Amino acid sequence: MSEAVAIDKQAVLKTESKLEKLYSLGHFVVTGELGPPQHSNGHELEHHAHELKDIVDGFNLTDNQTAIVRLSSIAAGVHVLKGGGVPIIQMTCRDRNRIAMQSDLLGAYSIGIRDVLCLSGDHQSFGNHPTSKNVYDVDSVQLISMVKKMRDDKKFLSDAVIKTDEPRFFIGAVENPFGDPFEFRAIRLEKKVNAGADFIQTQAIFDIEKFARFMEMVVARGIHERTKITAGILPVRSVKALQYMKKDVAGMEIPDSLIERMKKTEDPKKEGIQVAIEMCNELKKIPGVAGIHIMPVGWEAALPEIVKGAGFLPRPKV
């Protein structure tokens, strides 16, 4: 009986994505993030993927994050595959027009990548080429719709037919639950879901109470039944990091109580991991949350401690 149920569930899946299989079977999904390096050697990515492949269900690979030139997310995906991990490539609207995007999507799928996260991208003024031209030929909602059209309609954005071997991606998008005006955040999220987002990864969450209010709006609109909401966690190693995010990073909500807690600790790294574990435990109780996304930002050693501490091990096999 259980085998028949499994077959029935897999028969209705849109893609070959491991993430989609996990979500469809009702598992609480846990993903991590790896930042591609600012050089051409992908050995460290392969190493991290090999070491952490049984700790998380997939690895986000950022696309020139903070507008700084890095190894491409698709090339990074190759190294993660070599290490036995599941790559989730990011694709930003900042750097490519629709021709390059669709070409890269075909290329990524051809080498075994099955998950893509669609986002606008940090403005180029933040990076190491501040005078470069951005592209934004399409916005993030249009990018989601374009990937869905390639998958479900077997057509390019121009309506030219993809005659065979269309890229069948599991489509992700991002959302900041804390931006202003707050009361419209769920409506903005719904636009991405209407465009075809199968799963959502949120901005890093530090204010659990406000995020819970956001999720109440999401659940009230039934959005959680149409997509999978993955709550973002960013472990911090110092009070300075929290203070910087509170002051200089738009859309971040950092409670003063958390800053005071980090000020008092004698071991900021240990305390940062404990805070992340506590947040995981609170977030998984919130109705509508289907998973956790952990962004270690160069602190990959924190991933096993957080995942184990939050009781997310062992990860399910599919």
Percentage of residues in the chain having pLDDT higher than 70: 97
Interval 13-38 mean pLDDT: 97
Interval 7-27 mean pLDDT: 85
Cα 26 to Cα 33: distance, rounded to the nearest angstrom: 22
Interval 126-136 mean pLDDT: 93
Residue 82 tokens read as: 């070599």
What pLDDT sits at residue 11? 53
**Over the stretch 43-62, which tens digit does the pLDDT of each residue have?**
999 999 999 999 999 999 99
What pLDDT sits at residue 248? 83
292 within 8 A of 230, measured Cβ to Cβ? yes
What pLDDT sits at residue 250? 75
**Over the stretch 166-196, which tens digit does the pLDDT of each residue have?**
999 999 999 999 988 999 999 999 999 999 9
Residue 127 tokens read as: 């990076």
Q: State CA 79 to chain mean position distance.
A: 18
Residues, the chain, total? 318
What pLDDT sits at residue 8? 43
Interval 228-247 mean pLDDT: 94
Where does the pLDDT of residue 81 fall: very low under 50, low under 70, confident under 90, or very high at 90 and above? very high
Q: Which of 1-10, 99-108, 145-154 has the lowest mean pLDDT?
A: 1-10
Contacts of 264 (CB under 8 A, 6+ apart): none
What pLDDT sits at residue 122? 87
Q: Is the pLDDT of residue 9 over 70?
A: no
What pLDDT sits at residue 252? 85
Bridge partners of residue 155, in order along the sequence: 161
**Over the stretch 305-318, which tens digit does the pLDDT of each residue have?**
999 999 999 999 99
**DSSP annotation string for 275-309:** HHHHHHHHHTTSTTEEEEEE--SS-TTHHHHHHHH
DSSP assignment, residue 112? T
109 within 8 A of 82, measured Cβ to Cβ? no
Q: Which domains does the chain have, with CATH numbers?
A: 26-309 (3.20.20.220)
What pLDDT sits at residue 272? 96
Q: How confident is the prediction for the chain on average, in pLDDT?
A: 94
What pLDDT sits at residue 289? 98
